[in-house]
Amino acid sequence: MRSRPPFALSAAAGLVFLLAPLALIFLYAFTTDERSYTFPPPGLTTKWFAVAWGRQDVWNALGLSVRVAALATGLALILGTLCAAAMVRTRFFGREAISLLVILPIALPGIITGISLRSAFSLMDIPFSTWTIVLGHATFCIVVVYNNAVARLRRLSGSLVEASADLGANAFQTFRHIILPNLGSALLAGGMLAFALSFDEVIVTTFTAGQQATLPIWMLEELVRPRQRPVTNVVAMMVVLVTFLPILAAYTLTRADEAR
């Protein structure tokens, strides 16, 4: 009982360390100072929200980020689920090595993945476009879906699949009525997390985007060449709120499945 206060203080200090920078972003989204960061802010205003709303470059970057995240998530859901099913339901030589290779992209530094993808696209004469960004993001989005699907498939009893076959169901019917309903929440959680990761990605996008700018790239360029700093903070605040929701939903679904 005596050890609880030190642990509570340590947890509180850790939360302050993690969340204080986010709080500053929220604060400076309302500052009246357009060029510099002074603390405390000289004044507070909400005009930057209207300015950000009217900036077409913000909407262009946001639209590209949403398209890329949606396409990368869809690709990850298909490939990650199929790969997870192959790893769990079959036994073959080199299965563990292949499983390691599947999860390797998320463990590698982003700059390594970005350089390798850029080199591959250049060797194959593939022009940089939205699809090169999607392929780059899919490399780590697949891992997120794969991990969720593998964890669920390992808890799914094989007797259910066998019973479905004994009752005359074909492979598609078994997948539709038995496997997919049991995988549903895991895939939804993995898809939400993959979407959030893709939406926020900077390093891999830098090497695969060419002349295009997703929202994180736009924010990085605005910080390097500041025009209206508070607008960047407004956009950053919106990104935090938007990405927090799917991550929270994925966490809630995962906890609910574990409890059940």
DSSP labels, 41-71: -S-B-SHHHHHHHH-HHHHHHHHHHHHHHHH
Q: Which of 207, 209, 200 is nearest to 130 (CA)?
A: 209
Instruction: Give the residue ranges of DSSP H helices in the chain.
Output: 4-28, 47-54, 56-89, 95-107, 110-123, 130-155, 158-166, 171-174, 180-200, 203-208, 215-224, 229-259
> 222-238 pLDDT, tens per residue?
777 666 677 888 888 88
- Burial level of 228, CB count in 10 A (0-12/13-18/19+)? middle
Which range, 35-39, 100-104, 130-134, 240-244, has the best average confidence (pLDDT)?
130-134
The residue written with tokens 């199929």 in the block is 82
Residue 197 has pLDDT above 50, yes or no: yes
Residue 1 has pLDDT above 80, yes or no: no
Structural tokens at position 237 = 């605040």
| Residue 253, pLDDT score | 65
The span from the CA of 133 to the CA of 65, in Å, is 10
More confident residue, 177 or 55: 55
More confident residue, 92 or 148: 148
> 154-169 pLDDT, tens per residue?
777 666 766 776 667 7
Residue 69 has pLDDT above 50, yes or no: yes
| Residue 200, pLDDT score | 82
The residue written with tokens 């398209």 in the block is 67
More confident residue, 196 or 182: 196
Residue 148 has pLDDT above 80, yes or no: yes
- Paired with 31 in beta bridges are 44
Please report the sign of the dihedral spanned by the C-alpha atoms of residue 126, residue 127, residue 131, residue 133. positive
| Residue 71, pLDDT score | 92
Mean pLDDT of the chain: 78
The percent of residues above 90 in pLDDT, for the chain, comes to 3
The yes/no answer on whether domain 55-259 falls in CATH 3.30.450.20 is no
Neighbours of 238 (CB within 10 A): 16
Structural domain boundaries of the chain?
Answer: 1-45, 55-259
Q: Which residues contact 110 (CB under 8 A, 6 or more apart)?
A: 201, 202, 203, 204
The span from the CA of 163 to the CA of 96, in Å, is 28
Quote the pTM value: 0.78
Residue 153 has pLDDT above 80, yes or no: no
The span from the CA of 75 to the CA of 79, in Å, is 6
The span from the CA of 71 to the CA of 145, in Å, is 14
The span from the CA of 99 to the CA of 87, in Å, is 7
The residue written with tokens 């390691």 in the block is 100
Neighbours of 165 (CB within 10 A): 14
The residue written with tokens 């986010």 in the block is 22
